[in-house]
Structure 1
Amino acid sequence: MIRLQKASLPLVAYFSLACFGFSAVAAKVDFEKEVAPILEMNCVSCHSGDEPEGDFNLTTKVLSMESGSGEGLVPGNPDDSMIYSLTVVDRTDDMLMPPLRTGGPLSKPEAELLKNWIAEGAEWPEGRTLVAKPKPAGNFVSADDFELIKRIHAKIVAQAEKEAGEPADYAKVIPLTQIEFRMVAVPGGEFMMGSPAGEELRKEDEGPQTKVKVDPFWMGKCEVTWDEYEPFMITQVDRRKDGGRIDYDAEKHTVVDAVSQPTPPYTEMSFGMGQHGYPAISMTQHAANKYCQWLSAQTGHFYRLPTEAEWEYACRAGTDTAYSFGDDPEMLKQYAWFYDNSNEKYQKVGLKKPNPWGLHDMHGNVMEWTADQYVPDYFEKIQGHTNNPFIKPVTLYPRSVRGGGWDDDPDRLRSAARRGSDASWKQQDPQLPKSVWYHTDATQLGFRIVRPVKIPSAEEMYFYWNSARDVY
C-alpha cells in the first residue's frame, strides 16, 4: 500500500492504482495547511472578538462547536455544520459566508475541503486559535485602467467642443438615475489663503497666509447627497473587493460599467440619520474619487474633488474674515449645522443661508474631502508654486478634509481650518484588509464635487480618480 500525498493530487481527487498492483489511500485533510488558511482569510475577521457577527465565533474548536446553538461545527456531519453549510447557500443569500461584500463565496474546491475535513471528524489541534489574516491579492486584470480613462477623456473633449460661452450656474441630472445636481460657476482669481496670525483659535497649519491664484471652475452648490451617491454605492452586481464587476464583458458592458464601484456596505451607512436630501457620509477618499469618475463617464464633463486651494477660495467667496459671513461665531446658526444646533446628527443640505457665491453648507454639516495630501507645512511647500497649488498624495493617510461637521465646535468651521484623515476612521471595519470604500467611524465625513473649466490630460484624470487606489 502507498499513501498518496496531498501535493500529488488536487484536494480530494484520489484514485486506484490497480494497474500497478497498488491501491491508494486518500490523505486526510490537513487542518494547518488547508483548513486554517481558508478560515483565517475568509471568515475569522467577522467571526471573532467579543461581538462576532451572528454570534458565531470561529477562533477555536470549542467556540465553533458552541456557536449557532451547537450547529456551528458538528464533527462528522458537514451538512449540519454552519461552518460548511453557509458557504454553499445561494450567492445572493444574506446568510452566505463569506458574504459577497468581503469577497465571497468560497471557491468550490475550498468548500469541498471544509466538507471533507468535517466529514473526517474536524481534527483541530488542541490550543490552536485562529487569527484573521489578509487574502493574497488576486491576479485578475481590472477593466478600470488607463485605457478606460482615455476613452472617458475622449468623450469629455468631444462634449466640450459642442459647448461654448462663459461658465454659468447649471443644473443637470445624472443620466443613469435622473437625480438632479446643481453646480455653481466660481470665477478664477487670487486670494489670501490661510488665516492671519491674529485670528482667534487659529492653528499653526493655517499659515503663513499666502497669495494664491486659482483658475475658474464649477463647484457643487451642496454636498453630494444620498440621492446622488447611493445608486453608485449599491448596484446589485457581484464585485471583486476592488469594485470591478465579476461579470464584466467589454463587448456587452458600457464605459460606465467598467468604472470600479463600491462593494456592498457591511452596515447601514446613514446610521439612521436620514437619507433623502441628506449628505452622503463615511466614504473613503477613493470612493469619492470613483464617484467623480462614474459621474464623468456618464455626463461627458470632468468631475473631481476640489483642491484645498479651490475649496478655501470657494468657501471664502471673496471674504477675508474667519467665516464667509464675518468673524462672529454667534452668526453660525444662520449658516451652518454644528455641535450647538445639529441635534447630534447631520441635516438636509441647503437649509442654511449660502455664502456670497451661493454655496450652501461650506461651514459645517459634514466635513468635505479635498484632493490633497494633508501636510502641516502646506504653506511652506506651496511657496513658488502658488498658481493652482496641489499637494499630490503619496500616502493613504493623512488626506485633507475641510469645512468641519455637525459634531464640531465653531473653530473647526472657519474658512482656513484644516484637518487630515486618519486610519482610526476605519476602526470598526471588520474586514481584513480594511475596505477601500468605507470609513465607518467617520460619520461627519462627506464631499462635494468640482468641474474645472480647463480640461486636464488623460494622465491627470487618471491620477485624480486613482490617487488612493494603489496605496491601500
Structure 2
Amino acid sequence: MKSIVIILMSCLVAVTVSAQGIIRRPAATKPKPTATKPKPTVRKPQSRGSSAVRPKPAHPKKEDPINSLAEPLRSHLKKLMADMVLVEGGTYMMGNPDRDRNDEYAKDVPHEVTLSSFYICKYEVTEALWTAVMGSNPSRDKLGDNYPVERVNWYDCQDFVEKLSELTGRHFRLPTEAEWEYAARGGKRSRGYRYSGSYALDEIGWHVGNAHYYKREVGTKKPNELGLYDMTGNVSEWCQDKLDIEYYHHSPSINPQGPDRSTYKDNRCFRGGSFCDDEKYDELKVYTRNTGMPPEEKYGHLGLRLAMSVN
C-alpha cells in the first residue's frame, strides 16, 4: 500500500513538473536590416596640367537704350543703326592727285593719311530723322521724310549728335574732313573715281544739271564702293574740322583732327557739293576743298551725314 502511495505521489509530481515545464517560445522574427551609410565621394585633385576650366559666370546682356524709347523715335533710331557702315581703317593719298605736292599755295596738295576704322551712315540725315530726334524740321524746303534735312548750321549739328549720343548710348559725331574724303573715295575698296562711286556724275549724284536746284530723296542714285549714297551732290555735308587752307602742308599723317584755327573767321569744312553745283566746276569731286562756312550760318543746300566712333 505504501508503495502504491509513493508511486501515485511520484506521478503527481511528474505531471506538475511537466505542466510547469511547458514554455511558450516567442515567434521567430526576421532581423531588421542594418542601415548602411553611403560612402562619401572622394574627388581626386586636378593636376595642374588638366585642360578642365571652370566656366566663368555669365554677365547679363546690357539692354540697348533704344528699346526703351517710344515710337516713332525707336524705329527711326533702329533704322539709323542698321544704316551705319563700318569703314575699315587704312592709308590713302588725300587731296587733289593732279596737284603738285610742292605747290605751297595750294589748299588741296596730295599727302598721305592713315585712319583708324570708323562708322559712317549710308545716307544723309533726313528730315524725318532730324524731326524725330529734335522735335522740329528746320529745312527751307520741307519736301518729305526721305529728303535730306538742310538749313542747319554747324552748331545745330553739334546739338543733334550730342542728343543722338544720349539717346542711343553711342558716340555719334560729324566725320572729320579726312574721314569724309576716305569714305567718299570708297575706303579700301576705292577704284579711284573722281566722283564718289563713278566717273559718270549722273549715275551717282544730284547736281544742278539734273536736280535743277532742288534737293532729291536720299538713296535714289547708285552708291559708291562702300554702299554710301549721295556722297557726291544732293546736299553738301558739314565736317567736324575748322578750315585752314595751309593745313594739308603740315597736318598729322595719322588720324588728323583738323587745325586749331581757321583761315577765314571761324570757318568749318563742308564737302561733297550739292544740287546747286555745276559739273564743269570741281565742287562735286571727292577731293575738292572749299573755303568753308562760318559755323553759325545756314543754307538750303547744306546738311550733314553722321559718323560714329567704333569704341
Question: TM-score by structure 2 length?
Answer: 0.68
Aligned residue identity for 1:274: L
CA RMSD of aligned residues (A): 2.7
Q: Structure 2: how far apart are the matches of 1:298 and 1:183?
A: 16
Give the 3 Å change call, closer, same or farther, for CA 162–366 of structure 1 in structure 2: farther
Q: How many residues align?
A: 232
Which residue is equivalent to 2:128? 227
Which residue is equivalent to 2:300? 443
Deviation at 1:343, TM superposition (A): 2.4
Task: For residue 341 of structure 1, give the secondary structure of its aligned residue in structure 2.
Answer: helix
Deviation string 1:133-185 (CA, Å, 9 cap, x unpaired) is: xxxxxxxxxxxxxxxxxxxxxxxxxxxx968xxxxxxxx88945121321111
Deviation at 1:381, TM superposition (A): 2.4
Q: Structure 2: how far apart are the matches of 1:307 and 1:216?
A: 13
Match of 1:324 among 182, 196, 199: 196
Q: Is residue 397–residue 420 contact of structure 1 (8 Å, CA) maintained in 2?
A: no
Deviation string 1:27-85 (CA, Å, 9 cap, x unpaired) is: xxxxxxxxxxxxxxxxxxxxxxxxxxxxxxxxxxxxxxxxxxxxxxxxxxxxxxxxxxx
Q: Structure 1: how far apart are the matches of 2:180 and 2:90?
A: 13
Task: For residue 209 of structure 2, give the secondary structure of its aligned residue in structure 1.
Answer: coil
Aligned residue identity for 1:197: D
Deviation at 1:394, TM superposition (A): 4.3
Q: Structure 1: how far apart are the matches of 2:85 and 2:293?
A: 30
Which residue is equivalent to 2:253? 386
Task: For residue 205 of structure 1, give the secondary structure of its aligned residue in structure 2.
Answer: coil
Deviation string 1:332-361 (CA, Å, 9 cap, x unpaired) is: 111000010002210000000000000000
Q: Structure 1: how far apart are the matches of 2:245 and 2:67?
A: 38
User: After the TM superposition, which residues 183-198 of structure 1 pair with which residues of structure 2 at under 5 Å, given as runs?
Assistant: 183-197=84-98
Which residue is equivalent to 1:260? none
Give the 3 Å change call, closer, same or farther, for CA 282–173 of structure 1 in structure 2: farther
Q: Is residue 174–residue 298 contact of structure 1 (8 Å, CA) maintained in 2?
A: no
Q: Structure 2: how far apart are the matches of 1:346 and 1:364?
A: 9
Aligned residue identity for 1:414: K
User: After the TM superposition, which residues 24-423 of structure 1 pair with which residues of structure 2 at under 5 Å, given as runs?
Assistant: 175=69, 177-178=73-74, 179=76, 180-181=79-80, 182-197=83-98, 204-207=106-109, 209-234=110-135, 269-272=138-141, 274-317=143-186, 318-326=190-198, 328=199, 331-382=200-251, 385-394=252-261, 397-410=266-279, 411-423=282-294
Deviation at 1:409, TM superposition (A): 1.5
Deviation at 1:321, TM superposition (A): 3.4
Deviation at 1:452, TM superposition (A): 1.6
Which residue is equivalent to 1:120? none
Q: Structure 2: how far apart are the matches of 1:373 and 1:188?
A: 22
Which residue is equivalent to 1:76? none
Q: Structure 1: how far apart are the matches of 2:92 and 2:278?
A: 26
Q: Structure 1: how far apart are the matches of 2:293 and 2:178?
A: 21
The gaps in structure 1 that reach 5 residues or longer are 1-160, 164-171, 236-267, 426-435, 455-472
Q: Structure 1: how far apart are the matches of 2:61 and 2:123?
A: 27
Q: Structure 1: how far apart are the matches of 2:238 and 2:260?
A: 13
Q: Is residue 89–residue 114 contact of structure 2 (8 Å, CA) maintained in 1?
A: yes
Which residue is equivalent to 1:17? none
Aligned residue identity for 1:397: D
Give the 3 Å change call, closer, same or farther, for CA 392–204 of structure 1 in structure 2: closer
Aligned residue identity for 1:418: R
Deviation at 1:364, TM superposition (A): 0.5
Deviation at 1:323, TM superposition (A): 1.9
Deviation string 1:414-446 (CA, Å, 9 cap, x unpaired) is: 0101123335x9xxxxxxxxxx5xx44x11100
Give the 3 Å change call, closer, same or farther, for CA 335–173 of structure 1 in structure 2: farther
Give the 3 Å change call, closer, same or farther, for CA 291–409 of structure 1 in structure 2: same
Aligned residue identity for 1:196: P
Q: Structure 2: how far apart are the matches of 1:399 and 1:193?
A: 18
Give the 3 Å change call, closer, same or farther, for CA 380–299 of structure 1 in structure 2: same
Q: Structure 2: how far apart are the matches of 1:371 and 1:348?
A: 24
The gaps in structure 2 that reach 5 residues or longer are 1-59
Give the 3 Å change call, closer, same or farther, for CA 162–292 of structure 1 in structure 2: farther
Give the 3 Å change call, closer, same or farther, for CA 392–299 of structure 1 in structure 2: farther
Q: Is residue 323–residue 414 contact of structure 1 (8 Å, CA) maintained in 2?
A: yes
Aligned residue identity for 2:211: S
Which residue is equivalent to 2:32? none
Aligned residue identity for 1:217: F
Q: Structure 1: how far apart are the matches of 2:113 and 2:173?
A: 20
Q: Structure 2: how far apart are the matches of 1:297 and 1:333?
A: 38
Task: For residue 269 of structure 2, give the secondary structure of its aligned residue in structure 1.
Answer: strand
Q: Structure 2: how far apart are the matches of 1:299 and 1:272?
A: 28
Aligned residue identity for 2:135: I
Deviation at 1:390, TM superposition (A): 1.3
Calculate percent identity across the aligned residue pairs: 32
The structure having more radius of gyration, on CA atoms, is: 2
Task: For residue 415 of structure 1, give the secondary structure of its aligned residue in structure 2.
Answer: coil
Question: TM-score by structure 1 length?
Answer: 0.46
Q: Structure 2: how far apart are the matches of 1:270 and 1:306?
A: 21
Give the 3 Å change call, closer, same or farther, for CA 275–388 of structure 1 in structure 2: same
Give the 3 Å change call, closer, same or farther, for CA 344–173 of structure 1 in structure 2: farther
Q: Is residue 219–residue 229 contact of structure 2 (8 Å, CA) maintained in 1?
A: yes
